[in-house]
Amino acid sequence: MKMCDEGLELIKAQEGFRSRAYRDATGVWTIGYGHTSMAGPPQVREGLEISRAEGENILRRDVGRFAGGVRRLLTRTLSDRQFSALVSFAYNVGLGNFERSSVLRAVNAGDFEAVPRRLALWVKAGGRTLPGLIRRRAAEAALFTGDRPAQAEGLVRQPVEAPRGKTAHTSTTTLAAIVSALAAAASSLASGVRDLAGALPAVHPSLIAAVIVAAAAVWIIRERWLKSRDEGI
């Protein structure tokens, strides 16, 4: 698996060339074809300037590093076009994010049809959805699938799952309300039992309620973490 010319041109087109250092959408100093200090030398600082030829050399060195990182994380053999699409994606989001992404999990699981939709999860920077990232994900999906860019843009705009409301028993909000109600009921019950029989002299009702609410909070946090992990963000 190697980086193809089409993949390299995709990165150049999507990044664009800047001869003078600038801050990107997240505030990171950047130069050339999207080069940052995280990728290695040169260290990017305010006032740094390079020529286009220098930018080309930096890009090829950076892409080689990212290609090696992507190759190490893959458990399946891909075509050069598929591989190049993933290198472009990793170049944009970073190897750490790529390693944790559902894009990589889908590829390694052989679920290639899910890749465009998984790419669609990565269109935000600084908390905002950027049209440029939507176009880039579409171009990467097109390279991966062999579709035309317009077709791929339609794919990346599809939701990962068909939108549907949560049933009452799967909604964390509903379940949290139920658990809170149970906590209140448990507190009242404990208070009643203590008053009637003195059976719980050492356990205050508010302590029982606090334990139940804390358990509910831990469960909700776990469910949201699992959802975040499954969506790859």
Give the active site residues: 15
CB neighbourhood size of 69 (10 A):
17
Q: List, in sequence order, every residue forming a beta bridge with 29; answer none if it has no partner.
A: 23
Q: List, in sequence order, every residue forming a beta bridge with 18; answer none if it has no partner.
A: 32
- Tell me the three-class secondary structure of the chain, residue by residue: CCCCHHHHHHHHHHHCCEEEEEECCCCCEEEECCEEHHHCCCCCCCCCECCHHHHHHHHHHHHHHHHHHHHHHCCCCCCHHHHHHHHHHHHHHCHHHHHHCHHHHHHHCCCHHHHHHHHCCCCEECCEECHHHHHHHHHHHHHHHCCCHHHHHHHHCCCCCCCCCCCCCCCHHHHHHHHHHHHHHHHHHHHHHHHHHCCCCCCCHHHHHHHHHHHHHHHHHHHHHHHHHHHCC
Q: Are 55 and 17 in contact (CB under 8 A)?
A: yes
Rounded to the nearest 5 degrees, what angle is found at the Cα of 81, between the Cα atoms of 113 and 155?
A: 35
